[in-house]
Amino acid sequence: MERSAGILLPIFSLPGPYGIGTLGAEARAFADFLHAAGQRWWQILPVGPTGGGDSPYTSVSTFAGNPLFIDLDALGAQGLLTPDELRAARLPETGRVDYDALRRSRETLLRKAFSRLGGARAQTVRDFTARNPWVKEYALYRALKRHFGDTAWFDWPDEALRRHESAALEHWRVELAEDVAFHAWMQQVFFAQWAELKAYVNGLGIRIIGDLPIYVSLDSADVWSERKEFLLDSEGRPSKVAGVPPDYFSEDGQLWGNPLYDWVSQKADGFGWWIRRVEGAGKLFDAIRLDHFRGLESYWAVPAESETAKNGQWEKGPGMDLLGVLTSWFPQLSFIAEDLGILTDAVHDLRNASGLPGMKVLEFAFDRPDNAYLPHNYASHCICYTGTHDNDTVLGWYTHAAKAERDYAESYLGASGEEPVRRALLRLGQGSVAELFVAQMQDYLGLGSESRINVPGVAEGNWRWRMESGCDTAALAAEIKTLTHTYGRC
């Protein structure tokens, strides 16, 4: 990556009248803001349909897009929704995503739009499904979930269906044909709208950084339809699940519960599933952050019956066997190693061998002069962040920091007090030797902990913050551009 700067803002955090950020006018307006601010990267979070806890990291498909992000105004312009229906879909702008309200209303509205499809649009959906084989399995999975009362696939009453046997699949494709077609249509709309948005963003000289979670959910179309890729028993249940050991985020560790990969089997077939996965992500993003990079060197495996992640053990990951395949197959993509957490020399060696830039988080930096996250210790081949989606905002961090940490930060920055420290930290990141500097949008807006996106280890209340309409002003863009230009990142 050339010397540049970007801003982290999830799609769901965009403002707008429909209760959640979408791929419509507000996304283009934010791209215009980035351009005016001299930024060359827009970093987002995973965009798949969310599962438990509304987390983008617990998607029910690694390939699908989130239908909640569909631009309703575009459907209105196509005659698929009426002006009255669009007015009724508007929700008060509270600064928070109300997922329960969206679940109650959005699918009903989209089904109305689907019912008005003409023959030409229906053929477009069929063509899209033929070009993207994952859609067929995903759409059936979603239709079956609805039919069986939203229960997990491993609890469905039809054993042959749980085992993904072809005769059962064909029976249910016919039985639920209309619902299958509806879910396929939503994916066609999402990807068509995304392609238009990405073309607009790229046309401004801005590239998109997306996030590829290392694991997928047990209750997902991926595990149900491609069970051989995962370590599961004959009933589709894992004996060990993913997580991380106790660390600075949680004294019990984090018990994620995702199934683990059968790395031996995946290596034997040349990591074909991963190639297809990254190929799909490459249609959405220009650069991909590889989530939980250290799990590719060795990963924390926890007995499935455990209530916390404390009782896990480290097991060997695929390392360069996988990374070498991905970087050679996709030379047009930039990859970022999310090398945070408990790191060892082996993890550092893997990152160096892969040639990927790692992450430096300023909020982790202020305890001692030899801290690797302090800019005077950087090599240039890295990405500097104020904080990630898992961290507090700069103001929130400063407010809640221990006295020793705050004192050292003030000494290092030559500033004290909330506003001077916020500005000094942004200046520190911009002025670092890191190839790319990324700040959360909240940090440029000067927001506190109320706008934090996620608290790791806390199950409820995350992934909800939305930027208020009108916050991304021309004056703020000019201020950011001046700072970015000063440090040679425009």
Active site residues: 291, 338, 390
Residue 220 — φ and ψ, nearest 5°? Answer: -145, 160
Distance separating alpha carbons of residues 240 and 304, to the nearest angstrom: 5
Q: CA dihedral defined by 102, 106, 107, 113, rounded to 10 degrees? A: -170
Q: Give the contacts of 163 (CB within 8 A, at least 6 positions apart).
A: 236
Asked if residues 356 and 333 have their Cβ atoms less than 8 Å apart, the reply is no
Separation between Cα atoms, residue 67 and residue 371, nearest integer Å: 42
**Per-position b or e across 274-292, b if 16+ CB within 10 A of its CB:** bbebbebbbebbbbbbbbb
Output the CA angle 314-276-197, nearest 5 degrees.
Answer: 110
**Nearest alpha-carbon partner for 287 in 438, 481, 445, 64:** 438
Q: 10 Å Cβ neighbour count for 124?
A: 16
Would you state the structure tokens that stand for residue 462, as one six-digit string?
Answer: 């995350």
Between strands 358-361 and 382-385, the pairing is parallel
Q: In the numeric block, which tokens belong to residue 209?
A: 């950084």
